[in-house]
Amino acid sequence: MKDLYPFLNQARQAGLYRRRRVLDSPQQPRLVVDGRPMLSFCSNDYLGLAADERVAEAFRQGVERWGSGSGAAHLVTGHSRAHHALEEELADFTGRERALLFSSGYLANLAVITSLCGRGDTVIQDRLDHASLIDGARLGGAALKRYAHNDMAAAEQRLAAATGETLLAVDGVFSMDGDLADLPALAALCQTHDAWLMVDDAHGLGVLGEEGRGSLARYGLDADRVPVLMGTLGKAFGTAGAFVAGSEALIETLIQKARSYIFTTALPAAVAEATRASLKILRQEDGRRERLRALVARFRQGARQLGFELPPSETPIQPLIAGEARTALDWSRALEARGVLVTPIRPPTVPEGSARLRITFSAAHALEDVDELLHALEVIAP
């Protein structure tokens, strides 16, 4: 058997070794991590719904009715009335004809790209797109062409040179930087060049736009201009899984062709019931988004006063760029010593030389929590 320890030792020496932490508490700002109380700023639970009692109660009732597992793929016997109702509600939420549930965002992105494009076709992506979008293009065999981050001139060049069926896939909110894609410009370019536009709005849904409808609502874009929308349920929704929303023809195509849908056991129906509850809260309680905006504004003002340079981001994702992986690791350890948990993000998750602390906020945070974070950041301030 091949010796893997040289690889592991290299990762340790480069400051790139990763380890799991063990939580002894629900997902919330105040955690018990590895047996120690910590104030966390590294969750994607943007609206604070992961431990919301109403969502938990819907989950409990779902288990009582449907049991703990779905038992099969959606196309066998795994597709319950709860799944079906959630798909209909997500379609209404996103303003599209239909929605299709997946067990994860990774599987959803693989499904779309491999179903719409193959050998001889072209997939175009932003350099900072999520890994699942990149892997989808590679798995499907299409030519993958990437353009510099948010560079519309480069995106147009890629579209003009594309061959075969063309799909441009992009994050609505970039997961490591928190900035938004220029979706209006990309939509116009894709219409000009007769290309599909797919938006992965994992970090925009629930956070941006009226009723939390996401990046597309933030820009006023409809299904005609953005025909493929992917969203995840494990972030602002506070549960698990993902969905693709689009036309009747798109969803039926995925059901017939997408291997990551056909050959995957369906999410437990109880998760679907919990998500139906969280979707209702997400749409109705705009105060959660208002609180997020207040938290982000307080942080950005305080961080600038400490001397940090912040990338442009109106979202709960607020990165502090350290540069080298070792520096980001040192920063994280310094905060942890003061009871604040912010995990370091290092290559290959981000490009070389852009390691960072990825600070994220939840509507469950209090303004006092932000002040505690800023006080802890004094130890690493420039």
Residue 273 makes CB contacts below 8 A (sequence gap 6+) with 58, 59, 61, 62, 65, 66, 82, 86
Q: Which of 357, 335, 337 is nearest to 346 (CA)?
A: 357
| 3 state DSSP class of 123 | strand
Catalytic member of 83, 203, 260, 365: 203
144 DSSP 8-state letter: E
Terminal CA-CA length for the chain: 47
What is the distance of C-alpha 165 from the center of its chain? Answer: 26
> What are the phi and psi torsion angles at 300 (to 5°)?
-65, -40
d(CA 162, CA 353): 31
Specify whether 313 is catalytic. Answer: no
Amino acid at 79: H
Region class of 95: left (phi > 0), else alpha (psi between -120 and 50), else beta: left
Which one of the listed residues 235, 332, 362, 365 is annotated catalytic? 235
Largest Cα separation within the chain, whole Å, is 58
Whether the ω angle into residue 348 lies within 30 degrees of 0, i.e. cis, is yes
Active-site annotation holder among 175, 215, 278, 332: 175
Token pair listed for 131: 């890994």
Q: Does 130 qualify as catalytic in the annotation?
A: no
**Residue 235 a catalytic site member:** yes
- Catalytic residue set: 175, 203, 235
